[in-house]
Structure 1
Amino acid sequence: MSQRSDFVVVICHGSFHTPAPYVPLMEALQARGIAAYCPQLPTSDLARLNVGDVNNPDFNRELPAGGYPQGEEAAETVLAVLKPLVEAGKERSSVTTRPPYMTEHKHGLLTLVDEERYLFNCLDVADAKKWAATLTASPDLTTKLKNDAYAALPCGYLVLDQDRMIPRELQEHMIRLQASKTGDFTVYHCPADHSPQLSWIQGVVDTAVDFVGKIKTGQIQK
């Protein structure tokens, strides 16, 4: 299927992730003719976190030279994908206590625990274990945003009704808080966990298509 020149999706994967759990979503988008990209962010790239053998990582090794990668480097990675697409004409809340699904190691490097319960609770056991095995680590990200895309662009939010990491009520509170500062969000709901790119693949694709379509027809404006 030929790709649509007016619709490109760039996925910024979650902390602790590689692009692997997003491949099914990218394939579903591509099946609809939608180009999709998911670059590996340095903040969860084991090769950048000085853990030794990435297949048998030691999360308590010394800091890499210059410290762990932070949000600036992640932003540069994403921008490296976005910039040529734009030029071609295509167009996080801090917590003071660690949540129960997170472990902090010697130098502040974070990893997840009980991933099948918290990230992949809508998948069957085998699939949950498969994708949990792809998770990596992340430093505590402290980068402050330097621009305000929420105020400049139409914003949508897919509320994950079965999310155990960020409960639905907290998601909705976050939406209200941000909307009070920068304008309304277009809110969608889905019966998925924290990983809808695996448990609700076609729904994510349909939601993205609907959102972009409404922007193009003027039903959603900033």
Structure 2
Amino acid sequence: MWDAEPGAWATFIQSYPQAKEWMNKHVPHYESLKQLYGKDRANGDGAETPAEMRQRLSQQMGVADGNIIADIDRMATQNGATRETDDENINSSPEANKRHKTYKEEVQEKLLKDIECVSDAINKSTDALVKAHTAKLSMPAKEIYQHVSELGLDALDKKLAYRYLTENANVLEIVLGYPFEERKEFLMDILPSYLCKYIVIVSFF
């Protein structure tokens, strides 16, 4: 049946008398057709309102009261409130704030951490080398200097020999194991290899 106010029908029939026969005429599936082809249903401007939905569901299911629909509305409202609360918690969480950091800041932080790791590794390696070197010395440095001085080397060879023997405890034992009268010659035979190494290091710096 056509759905219109009585006053609207009266005005319409005055203008179109032939339409009077449609006033009480039953149209099959009229409600469904109205839902499908009603004004602005397609673009959402005239979309079905909650009140219209309740009315339609009540008619279809024969539900006199709106208890079931009310429960649906209540659940939908609670769900919306929960979703808003979750969004607020996400936006204010530390993880969200962390994401606001720029790429440059993240790179700088990583670089600083890498530098700290390298520096720590170098310090540990240096300490280990110093401890290992100190542990290998079979005699105090002063005694090594005395042994070198007794060989009658010139000033430069004396410095190089002293440094070489203090840095190589195993060579020191070998040199001191040689007879004293042949010790200088033996030392000068093995010193050139160290001298070349020393020259390269000085040239580098």
If each structure's helix is expressed as a fraction of its own residues, which one has the higher value?
Answer: 2
Which of the pair has more CA radius of gyration? 2
TM-score, length-normalised on structure 2? 0.18
TM-score, length-normalised on structure 1? 0.17
Q: Which has the higher contact order (CA 8 A, sep 6+)?
A: 1
